[in-house]
Structure formats: C-alpha cells, structure tokens
Amino acid sequence: MPATKPRAKTLNEYLAAATPEVRRKLREMRACIRSAAPDATEGLKWGMPAFSSRRILVMFAAFKHHIGFYPTPSAVQAFKAELSRFKTATGSIQFPLEKPLPRQLIRKITAFRVRECKELDRRWKS
C-alpha cells in the first residue's frame, strides 16, 4: 500500500505542497481575498484554506484542472451573471488553471461575504 502524504496543518503548508504554477495561483487567490477581507483570520477548514471572521467567509482549494472557490450559495447567486463563464454549483465556483484568475471578481465576492456576515451578526444582536 503506498504511503499517503501528510495533510497540511497550515495554509502555508497547503501552498508549499502545490506545484510552482498552482502555488502562484493559490497565492494570487490568497492576496485577492486578503485585500477584500483584511481583518479575516486564515486557517484550514476541511483541509482547505479558509478565511473567517466570526464565521467562514470563503474557502478555496487546488484541484487537477481548476481552483475551487467556495463563497457560499448566497454569493454564487448574487454574482450569477458575472459567473456565467465559469462552472458553478450551489456554493462553489471553478476557475480553470489554464486561464487567469478573475481577481477583481474574487475581491468583489469576498467583500460581499464580509458585508453579508456583518449583517447576519447584526441581526443576531438585535
């Protein structure tokens, strides 16, 4: 039975395990998210890089042919028109590795999640 790779324990370990080309895109993704959510905490959730602020804002992960972006179903729905050129599912978006990342869109979606989470927190405190 082949040995399995140990699972990353930090976001930096996750990035280091990727190939150089994929690592570049993952770092780009991280920078886009960080610029839109500067106060968010980085970590790993379910083995994927995640940004949280009281609750998970967004997550992303590397796959063989794409970067998966997980901003929740409400964000995917809110940006449905702008996401029409990408493969999406209920709460996920696939950005093909062979194409440039839509950095502006990633920042807009992340900012949407920050606002959405603040609003949800405000409702709970009322």
- What CA dihedral angle connects 101, 10, 33 and 125, to 10 degrees? 150
Which domains, and CATH codes, for the chain? 11-125 (3.90.1150.200)
**Nearest 5°: phi and psi at 15?**
-65, -45
pTM: 0.90
Cα separation, 21 vs 98, in Å, equals 10
Instruction: Categorize the per-residue pLDDT at 71 as very low, low, confident or very high, splitting at 50, 70 and 90.
Output: very high
Tens-digit pLDDT profile for residues 94-109? 999 999 999 999 999 9
Which H/E stretch holds residue 61?
strand 55-62
CA 72 centroid distance within chain: 10
pLDDT attached to residue 40: 96
The token pair that represents 85 in the structure block? 């050129």
The answer, yes or no, to whether residue 121 has pLDDT greater than 70, is: no
